[in-house]
Amino acid sequence: MTPLPLFRLLQSQGFGSRKACREQVLAGRVTVDGRPCLDPDAAFSGPGRLLGVDGQTWVWRDKAYLMLHKPAGYECSRQTRHHPSVFSLLPLPLVNRSIQPVGRLDQDSTGLLLLSDDGAFVHHYTSPRRHVAKTYRVTCKHPIDDGLAGRLLAGVQLHDDPVPVAALACQRLDEHRLELVIAEGRYHQVKRMVAAAGNRVEALHRYRVGNLDLPAELGPGQWRWLEKADLDALAGGG
């Protein structure tokens, strides 16, 4: 990568406008690889560079890929209606990078949510043609009868689709819980499928996309970067 002025490196990472980034450097708020730098025009290459702003260190990344453990009560939108946005759970530089969710979870659903500012990445993992598997744990209101999984696997009719929609996999976990795998990401799809099969979703948790699992140590509301191993696992499942 061609070296860039420090203020432009900061701008690319979401730290503000060109003017704001220059002012941060001149004010002594920025370090490069742990060393203070007061020259906003000093040139540095980006990959692997450690940028410190107000004591917080960021690794320069050309594109942002991250996962969030979405809690209930948050909307996957910047323009929310009734609940806070998932973007309020992320640091401001990430929000400024115009990241967007890779698919969505309803406000009352929880679990693995991917986000990125890479449009090709977002399109790849949201396109129905890619058949990327999403795995959910579904808590049903009524006891699960012996035929519910079979109906979901065979395909159920949704009101807005002339073709029955089928689960890729489905198994009963206990009296009220299912594990359900789908490849699409239509509006309220899991809830509508379960309703069409004769039950009702009380809670919905997505814990896997492709072959990428939500880490047990990542608590609700927490986020982390997707590293190479995560992206490989994701690609291996779609």
CATH number at residue 12: 3.10.290.10
Say yes or no: 200 and 215 in one domain. Answer: no
Distances (CA, A) of 42 to 7, 13, 47, 48: 8, 17, 16, 17
Look up the domain containing 102 and give its range: 65-128+211-236
Say yes or no: 114 and 180 in one domain. Answer: no
Per-residue confidence at 184, pLDDT binned at 50, 70, 90?
A: confident
Say yes or no: 112 and 154 in one domain. Answer: no
Say yes or no: 223 and 113 in one domain. Answer: yes
- Number of domains making up the chain: 3
For position 136, what pLDDT does the model report?
97
Better-scored residue on pLDDT, 236 or 229: 229
- Which residue, 114, 88, 131, is CA-closest to 206? 114
Which CATH number fits the domain that encloses residue 171? 3.30.70.1560
For position 225, what pLDDT does the model report?
97
Say yes or no: 204 and 99 in one domain. Answer: no
User: What residues act catalytically?
Assistant: 106
Domain's final residue, options 59, 79, 101: 59
Say yes or no: 44 and 157 in one domain. Answer: no
Summarize pLDDT for 125-171 with one digit per residue, the tens.
988 777 889 999 999 999 999 899 999 999 999 987 788 999 999 99
Say yes or no: 123 and 232 in one domain. Answer: yes
- What contacts 191, CB < 8 A, 6 or more positions away? 106, 201, 204
Say yes or no: 143 and 205 in one domain. Answer: yes
Say yes or no: 217 and 122 in one domain. Answer: yes
Per-residue confidence at 237, pLDDT binned at 50, 70, 90?
A: low
Which CATH number fits the domain that encloses residue 69? 3.30.70.580
Q: Which two tokens stand for residue 9?
A: 């490196």
Length of the chain: 238
